[in-house]
Amino acid sequence: MYPDRVVSGMRPTGAMHLGHYHGALKNWIRMQSEQHCLFFVADWHALTTHYDDPGIVERSTWDMVVDWLAAGIDPSQATIFIQSRVPEHAELHLLLSMATPLGWLERVPTYRDQIENLATKDLATYGFLGYPLLQAADVLIYRASEVPVGEDQLPHVEMMREIARRFNHIYGKEKGFEEKALEAVRKLGSKRAKLYLELRTDYQQDGKDEALEQARAMLEDAGSLSNIDRERLFGYLEGSRKLILVEPQAILTESSRLPGLDGRKMSKSYGNAIGLREDRASVVKKIRTMPTDPARVRRTDAGDPKRCPVWQLHEVYSDQPTRDWVVKGCTSAGIGCIECKQPVIDGVLAEQEPMQERAQQYLDDPSLVRAIVADGCDKARRLAQETMRDVREAMGISYT
């Protein structure tokens, strides 16, 4: 079978902040030493929503790679590349689009959510509708075994699995296999044969896992089958013996959420973010002027950390003795808010310091970043080309 691979990408639509670091990059850093990881700058994905402002995509792409390297992504362990530099993604996207029902794309929940959330943009475009299919191509082209995702992305991975299954079903048949399988189906007897074929369709076309389970159980019980026929029917149930695209597993990432300066989710559009490599003076100023418990108007008023966004940052950056000091000092008005914020400032700066240091060499010599990306693109492209050879052959368009 294919080696374990993890594929994940990020859209270059602006500067990265510490919320990205805690939400995704820390997971990437952990995974890169465990499996072969391919991390890509999803510039085509960025264009699906920023097609009218491509400048931001270009600017953010290189900054994003520097941010990844600064955060600790190690190019000697992980493959770092830019999506559009591996045009095979687009080819697979196109070929998959031939057999992907429109309804599969329209029912992806994030499609409707995004259209509503970004009401000021015209997203009734062909590219935006195809976004999840492009995502499927990004992953399937590397025959990835795993995709790290947040909960909101689970339907996308489910769709990738359905697309791979459908592709294998339509294009993965082996010579003579189908005839032998159908002969074995007949041996089940007419009633069970009919049920088997119905369950197979339910599983392959609609992705119903329970149909697969039911059909497998029926085959286990079918005394009329020889072992070899039973094996054939297990294989036929899942499509064919020839697996061209691999169904990836979603790995739900436990992302520690870093709240923004106002307690809401950290986001550039809320204006509550701290940049991954933001300069020291600006970080100090931002945290010093953060809102606190609104009930604590004067220094002598007692406060409640649960109503204070600073406390949420203490939960990420402070150790237990410091947190105890905050709770005691806040609820008794024993400490002032500026005093309380200092350990958070120290924690954020300590986290950023090694990132600033690592980033410096790449800022001093941008050709290093270009070389890392060029190398990553080459590696990714070789893997993508292997898959595309098989895909073209299976679809009858290799013309050799």
Where do contacts with ligand SF4 occur on this chain (CB under 6 A)? 292-293, 296, 303, 305, 308, 310-311, 326, 330, 335, 337, 340-341
Which structure tokens are listed for 111? 């499609």
CB of 353 to ligand SF4, least distance (A): 23
**CA nearest 6: which of 64, 78, 66?**
78
Distances (CA, A) of 292 to 80, 200, 258, 275, 307: 40, 59, 17, 21, 8
Phi, psi (rounded to 5 degrees) for 212 = -60, -45
Q: How far apart are alpha carbons 243 and 28 in whole angstroms?
A: 28
Q: Which is nearer to ligand SF4, 165 or 341 (CB)?
A: 341
CB of 273 to ligand SF4, least distance (A): 19
Q: Which is nearer to ligand SF4, 91 or 346 (CB)?
A: 346
Q: Which is nearer to ligand SF4, 144 or 326 (CB)?
A: 326
Q: Which is nearer to ligand SF4, 276 or 340 (CB)?
A: 340
CB of 315 to ligand SF4, least distance (A): 11
Q: Which is nearer to ligand SF4, 19 or 303 (CB)?
A: 303
**CA nearest 177: which of 243, 227, 241, 246?**
241
**CA nearest 54: which of 67, 44, 64, 66?**
44
**CA nearest 101: which of 169, 173, 140, 159?**
159
CB of 303 to ligand SF4, least distance (A): 4
Crossing angle of helices 337-364 and 280-288, rounded to 10°: 160
Residue corresponding to tokens 């909960």: 151
CB of 327 to ligand SF4, least distance (A): 8
Q: Which is nearer to ligand SF4, 316 or 374 (CB)?
A: 316
**Cβ 156 vs Cβ 135: under 8 Å:** yes
Cβ within 8 Å of residue 63, ≥6 positions away? 12, 15, 16
Q: How far apart are alpha carbons 187 and 310 in whole angstroms?
A: 70
CB of 282 to ligand SF4, least distance (A): 19
CB of 337 to ligand SF4, least distance (A): 3
Q: Which is nearer to ligand SF4, 295 or 371 (CB)?
A: 295
